[in-house]
Amino acid sequence: MSASKRYTITAALPYTNGPIHIGHLAGVYVPADIYARYKRLTGNDVAFICGSDEHGVPITIKAKKEGVTPQDIVDKYHAIIKKSFEDFGITFDNYSRTSAKTHHDTASEFFMTLYNKHEFVEEVTEQLYDEEANQFLADRFVTGTCPKCGNEEAYGDQCENCGTSLNATDLINPKSAITGNVPTLKETKHWFLPLNKHEAFLKEWILKGHKKDWKPNVYGQVKSWIDDGLRPRAVTRDLDWGIPVPIPGGEGKVLYVWFDAPIGYISATKEWAAREGKDWEPYWKDEHTKLVHFIGKDNIVFHCIIFPAMLKAEGSYILPDNVPANEFLNLEGNKLSTSKNWAVWLPDYLEDFPNEQDVLRYALTANAPESKDNDFTWKDFQARNNNELVAIFGNFINRVVVLTHKYYDGVVP
pLDDT per position as a tens digit, 321-351 = 999 999 999 999 999 988 789 999 999 999 9
Best CA proximity match to 168, nearest among 110, 125, 105: 125
Share of the chain above pLDDT 90, in %: 86
Quote the radius of gyration of the chain (alpha carbons, Å).
23
* Amino acid 213: pLDDT: 87
* Amino acid 3: pLDDT: 72
Over 90: is that where the pLDDT of 7 sits? yes
Over 90: is that where the pLDDT of 42 sits? yes
pLDDT, one tens digit per residue, over 295-310 is 999 899 999 999 999 9
At 35, phi and psi to the nearest 5?
Answer: -65, -45
Q: Which pTM was predicted?
A: 0.91
Over 60: is that where the pLDDT of 211 sits? yes
Mean confidence (pLDDT) of the chain? 94
Residue 178 DSSP label: T
Beta bridge partners of 135: 130
Mean pLDDT of 16-23: 94
Please give the Cα distance from 52 to 338 (Å, whole number).
16
Please give the Cα distance from 361 to 346 (Å, whole number).
12
Mean pLDDT of 95-119: 98
Over 90: is that where the pLDDT of 384 sits? yes
* Amino acid 56: pLDDT: 87
- Hey, is 56 helix, strand or coil? coil
* Amino acid 2: pLDDT: 55
Pure H helices in 190-331: 199-202, 216-228, 257-276, 282-285, 300-301, 307-314
CA distances (Å), 53 to each of 146, 262, 344, in order? 26, 9, 21
Q: Which residues contact 228 (CB under 8 A, 6 or more apart)?
A: none
Q: Give the dihedral sign, CA 396/398/399/400.
A: positive
* Amino acid 210: pLDDT: 62
Over 90: is that where the pLDDT of 242 sits? yes
Please give the Cα distance from 13 to 94 (Å, whole number).
12
Beta bridge partners of 165: 158
Best CA proximity match to 231, nearest among 309, 159, 150: 309
Please give the Cα distance from 238 to 125 (Å, whole number).
12
The amino acid occupying position 158 is Q
Over 70: is that where the pLDDT of 401 sits? yes
Q: Can you say how many angstroms the Cα of residue 43 is from the centroid of all Cα atoms in its chain?
A: 27
Mean pLDDT of 115-137: 94
Beta bridge partners of 326: 296
Over 90: is that where the pLDDT of 139 sits? no
First to last CA, the chain: 24
Environment class of 303 (CB within 10 Å of its CB; exposed 0-12, middle 13-18, buried 19+): buried
Mean pLDDT of 247-254: 94
Over 50: is that where the pLDDT of 37 sits? yes
Q: Which residues contact 275 (CB under 8 A, 6 or more apart)?
A: 94
- Hey, is 43 helix, strand or coil? coil
* Amino acid 209: pLDDT: 76
- Hey, is 276 helix, strand or coil? helix
Cβ contact 273:193 at 8 Å = no
Cβ contact 360:353 at 8 Å = yes
Q: Can you say how many angstroms the Cα of residue 337 is from the centroid of all Cα atoms in its chain?
A: 16
* Amino acid 244: pLDDT: 97
Q: SS3 helix, strand, coil % of the chain, rounded to 5?
A: 45, 20, 35
Please give the Cα distance from 66 to 60 (Å, whole number).
10
* Amino acid 138: pLDDT: 81
pLDDT, one tens digit per residue, over 258-296 is 999 999 999 999 999 999 999 999 999 999 999 999 999
Residue 287 DSSP label: T
Q: Which residues contact 278 (CB under 8 A, 6 or more apart)?
A: 272
* Amino acid 404: pLDDT: 97
Q: Which residues contact 19 (CB under 8 A, 6 or more apart)?
A: 77, 80, 81, 84, 345, 346, 347
* Amino acid 21: pLDDT: 96
Over 90: is that where the pLDDT of 361 sits? yes
Q: How confident is the model at residue 167 (pLDDT cuts 50, 70, 90)?
A: confident
* Amino acid 4: pLDDT: 82
Residue 370 DSSP label: S
Best CA proximity match to 26, nearest among 279, 261, 343: 343
Range with lowest mean pLDDT among 57-61, 93-97, 395-399, 407-411: 57-61
Over 70: is that where the pLDDT of 1 sits? no
Q: Which residues contact 253 (CB under 8 A, 6 or more apart)?
A: 190, 236, 237, 238, 239, 244, 245
